[in-house]
Amino acid sequence: GAVVSQHPSWVICKSGTSVKIECRSLDFQATTMFWYRQFPKQSLMLMATSNEGSKATYEQGVEKDKFLINHASLTLSTLTVTSAHPEDSSFYICSARDLSSYNEQFFGPGTRLTVL
């Protein structure tokens, strides 16, 4: 099956710093990737849709200047949390859609971000 990786798996940073998270589709090309955020004991919330070669589409309430998304190739999307604060601490999960599998999305293993 399709494999999606994320790096890093966890990161701890100081308040005010920026953190970059990578999402890669390893064995298929993904024109579209999605970024979700999951707070402890809560559901996954869609943050943005990452489109290869164009601007990301952000969900209502998600600050595009704070969560920078770049989808420079068909296998890589990055999410940069700028000027991170403790309230940004969360589990960030990406997914990628394999065009050959209709709507099925394949999830990465997630990145645990802790902002001190």
Partner 1 sequence: GENVEQHPSTLSVQEGDSAVIKCTYSDSASNYFPWYKQELGKRPQLIIDIRSNVGEKKDQRIAVTLNKTAKHFSLHITETQPEDSAVYFCAATPHSGGGADGLTFGKGTHLIIQP
CA–CA dist 89, 100 (Å, integer): 34
> Judged by CB under 8 A, which stretch of 20-28, 42-50, 65-73, 75-83 contacts partner 1?
42-50
Closest separation in Å from C-beta 110 to partner 1: 6
- Near partner 1 by CB under 8 A: residue from 11, 19, 21, 36: 36
Contact between residue 5 and residue 24 where contact means Cβ atoms under 8 Å apart: yes
Q: Which is nearer to partner 1, 42 or 83 (CB)?
A: 42
Residue 102 touching partner 1 (CB under 8 A): yes
Q: State how far the Cα of 8 lies from the Cα of 6, in Å rounded to an integer.
A: 6
Shortest approach of partner 1 to residue 46 CB, angstroms?
4
| 43 three-state secondary structure | coil
Q: Does 58 bind partner 1 (CB under 8 A)?
A: no
Whether the CB-CB separation of 82 and 73 falls below 8 Å is answered with no
Which among 19, 50, 24, 30 has a CA at the least distance from the CA of 108? 24
> Site residues (CB under 8 A) for partner 1?
31-32, 34, 36, 42-46, 49, 51, 57, 59-60, 91, 93, 95, 97, 99, 102-105, 107-110, 112
